[in-house]
Amino acid sequence: MRIVIIGTSGSGKSTLAKRLAVSLGLTHIELDAINWQPGWVGLHQTDPDEFLRRTQAAIAGEHWVCDGNYVAVRDAVWQRADHLIWLDYDRPVIMRRVIARSVARALDQKELWNSNREDWRQWLHASHPIRWAWDTWADRRVRFETALAEERYAHLQVMRLRRPKEAEGVEGRL
């Protein structure tokens, strides 16, 4: 089983992916961990070929759950996946989650990926997850719908979840 989980920032992709990986005995692949280099340098922008190479190596196995939305590696991940779970929640749900997550990360200063930590001084930047989630929420819905309608992804068993409650017990529906 190869599952990809998509959704805007703050939707709960990584949380669900970790839970599924444990309960189904799958490897967890977090695209943010592959992408974000020290100093918040994103491979998706600075070296997309290397990002793709690292992602392809990570998804080469037969049993995994991968979370993330990077266009630079979408085709590689979606082509290898057999299931896709889309966390398509309303904007207020997303905003509550992404703000709460950012506050918690800023307070605990836990390392996220490659020595990167949340910095509250970045919250108003367009690239910060709070702004990113707000600015891209509507557009992402359209882009995901359009991409999922493409013939090359017809093999995917798609589960579009509209409310967080629908993610409960999703293991039994795969």
Q: Which structural domains are found in the chain, ordered by start? A: 2-90+139-173 (3.40.50.300)
Parallel, antiparallel or unpaired: strands 41-42 and 36-37 = antiparallel
Q: Indicate the pLDDT class of residue 121, thresholds 50, 70 and 90.
A: low
**Terminal Cα distance for the chain, rounded:** 9
pTM of the model: 0.89
3-state secondary structure of 27: strand
Cα four-point dihedral sign 128, 84, 74, 58: positive
The distance from CA 16 to its chain's CA centroid, rounded to whole angstroms, is 10
Buried (b) or exposed (e) across 91-100, using 16+ Cβ within 10 A?
eebbbebbbe
pLDDT in tens, 32-55: 999 888 877 889 999 999 999 999
CB atoms near residue 37 (< 10 Å): 17
Comparing 84-88, 146-150, 168-172, the range with the smallest average pLDDT is: 168-172
The two tokens of residue 53 are 């190479």
